[in-house]
Structure 1
Amino acid sequence: MSNTSPLLNVTGLTKHFPVKGGFPIRRTVGHVQAVDGLDFQVAEGESLGLVGESGCGKSTTGRLITRLLEPTAGTISYRGQDITHASRRQLAPVRSEIQMIFQDPYASLNPRQTVGKIISGPMEINGINPPGGREKRVRELLEIVGLNPEHFNRFPHEFSGGQRQRIGVARALALEPKLIVADEPVSALDVSIQAQVVNLLQKVQQELGIAFLFIAHDLAIVRHFSQRVAVMYLGKIVEIAERADLYDNPRHPYTRALLSAVPEATVDDGTPARERIRLVGDVPSPINPPSGCRFRTRCWKATEKCATEAPPLLHVEGNRPGHLTACHYPESPAAVPGPRHAKNPREAA
């Protein structure tokens, strides 16, 4: 991680959604534990990738940080200021510095507004009048994201998915933010367009020094974009490390299994093919997660200790500084996803 002081500091972040039931009086009968005690930091100008299976709580985490959702517990500190339960008035100076790029470019743009109105809207709400006027600034932003400034008066339906996502990027840049939460910004786009949008975001980050929380399930894209990577499973971070260290030296069994699933082009040169670790069973329900380690029901290394004690996210022996793992029985150092000598007892036949 960067030596600079953290721009964003998240401690014990938790979000439980109530489950209503009963008749005729609807009462709370349980909670969906979407996010359950996250700890991480994002430094100025840094990109932190957040990966995991669908339903693990990635998008909820992004919405908590942007305060689109109210946290159940924990603290969110931005530039030393606690914004966990800040009121709308208290958040006003911070809102412009934390922006979000949404997952679906077809749903995140108002079809009744022109591109110019969509991008200038944040400036209008925050009372910002850039030199030369808002229209000039919007045209500059369109050029920055690779769109024709003459598209200022067009409507969203006149653009392709990739172009719409570029409009979303321009809107996020309109207030010159310090932190952008990108919630799976390319998952709804064609593969041919994904690289263009990711390269655009990378260019924006490098040129403007913006920090990113990059939420995705595509491990190849995260490796290309993020400097550090955090792996989530069922509402918890199970491993976090520098990009190269995590991909080359995964210590948590879930991280190992996740990386083994990445498609890979192979050449028939006699080299043993990389083994695919197949996890049995489904992800447990976040309404009633397993005791102890939440991954234990699908882990080939689980013991009774895993059922009774939740492993803390700590530095384990063999890890580099900043590489934290939440596992009682971490994988051997430098256990890159490759041919294994021992048969995984939980592998599907």
Structure 2
Amino acid sequence: MHFPVRGGSIIKRKVGVVQAVDGVDLDLREGESFGLVGESGCGKSTTGRLIARLLEPTEGTITYAGRDITHASRKQLAPIRPEIQMIFQDPYSSLNPRHTVGGIIAGPMEVNNINPPGGRHKKVQELLETVGLNPEHYNRYPHEFSGGQRQRIGVARALALEPKLIVADEPVSALDVSIQAQVVNLLQRLQRDMGIAFVFIAHDLAVVRHFSQRIAVMYLGKIVEIADRADLYNNPHHPYTHALLSSVPEADPDSEKHRERIRLTGDVPSPINPPSGCRFRTRCWKAQDICATEEPPLVQLESTTTGHLAACHFPESRQVIPDAEALAD
């Protein structure tokens, strides 16, 4: 997904492109919780919006349940839209302040002409109860709720059409830590009970590990590593993943003293003019000449377990978190 950059004081002309997502290749299995992590501006949210087809990709292919929906028209997407829903990052701007909670949650059913047994009013009250809110709050407005409650309303709206896939774009980043745990546990319960597949986008590594079965790490528009959560957290192979995990705080001060801490130097390059070869090479302590001339492919390494892919010419091969299971608790 490349966004045009326009310049000129009178006639706006294209002077470049922002390579927000560039060559991302991933698959999502039915009923799976898939995590997508990386620092701000790496293309996570854009990837999520592409999956939900809220954006039309510049190049490439998006396939859902065997159907190519890359450039599908609004009419062609109509039967697929109910199956793919999204939970947005900001619970304050994603809810229309002029509509009641009942109207917000019932909206998707009205758009898709769905009349559930017992009526939409009853269905909305059931959804409110499912996400831990009072069904009697049907006629209240968003400003009457806290941030955590608003995010629960967003979850209820996403569940209204009984989707098979939900893209959760940093659903807890705007919430207090105590509320984050409640929302994450709610999503985990829904994923387990309803068999919904999740793409969970976040930059909090501990939250992603708690929720996701497989995790992909993004850097500057590209995926640099994909693995099962245990493999990724116990034995990361890409230097960027290793640096990210080294920054996760530990509750035990003694373990902090013995743990390696990697501090990356420099800033993230501009997506308008990314580095040649490996995009992480300008901040990587293992970079060599080949890293500037050849882009490393995302492949399975000989020393990794099945499904553990990394894009690096000189991969890491050491453990970073000895008590990784404690992080999930």
Under a length normalisation based on structure 1, what TM-score does the superposition of the two structures give?
A: 0.91
* Structure 1 residues 338 and 129, CA gap change in structure 2 (3 angstroms): closer
Give, as a single letter, the amino acid of the residue that structure 1 aligns with 2:20: A
Candidates 200, 207, 221, aligned match of 1:221 = 207
CA RMSD of aligned residues (A): 1.2
Percent of counterpart pairs with the same letter?
78
Give, as a single letter, the amino acid of the residue that structure 1 aligns with 2:293: T
Under a length normalisation based on structure 2, what TM-score does the superposition of the two structures give?
A: 0.96
- Please name the residue that 1:17 is paired with: 3
Give, as a single letter, the amino acid of the residue that structure 2 aligns with 1:207: D
Q: Does the 8 Å contact 1:254/1:295 carry over to 2?
A: yes
- The answer as to 2:272 corresponding to 1:287 is yes
Could you list the runs of 4 or more consecutive aligned residues of structure 1 that deviate by over 3 angstroms after TM superposition? none
**Of Structure 1 and Structure 2, which has the larger fraction of its residues in helix?**
2
3-state SS in 1 of match to 2:20: strand
Q: Does the 8 Å contact 1:275/1:338 carry over to 2?
A: no
3-state SS in 1 of match to 2:295: coil
**What is the 5 A alignment of 1:195-210?**
195-210=181-196
- Please name the residue that 1:330 is paired with: 315
**Of Structure 1 and Structure 2, which has the larger fraction of its residues in strand?**
1
Give the distance between the partners of 1:293 and 1:159, measured in 2 at CA: 46
Candidates 277, 287, 296, aligned match of 1:311 = 296
Compute the displacement of 1:26 (Å): 1.3
Q: Deviations over 1:49-106 (max 9, x none)?
A: 0000000000000111111111001111000000011000000000000000000000
Q: Does the 8 Å contact 1:219/1:259 carry over to 2?
A: yes
3-state SS in 1 of match to 2:185: helix
Compute the displacement of 1:254 (Å): 0.2
- The answer as to 2:57 corresponding to 1:66 is no
- Please name the residue that 2:130 is paired with: 144
- Please name the residue that 1:188 is paired with: 174
Compute the displacement of 1:265 (Å): 1.5
Give, as a single letter, the amino acid of the residue that structure 1 aligns with 2:320: P
Compute the displacement of 1:198 (Å): 0.2
Structure 2 unaligned residues grouped into runs of 5+: 323-329
Structure 1 unaligned residues grouped into runs of 5+: 1-14, 340-349
- Please name the residue that 1:276 is paired with: 261
- The answer as to 2:222 corresponding to 1:236 is yes
**What is the 5 A alignment of 1:22-33?**
22-33=8-19
- The answer as to 2:285 corresponding to 1:300 is yes
- The answer as to 2:237 corresponding to 1:251 is yes
3-state SS in 2 of match to 1:40: coil
3-state SS in 1 of match to 2:2: strand
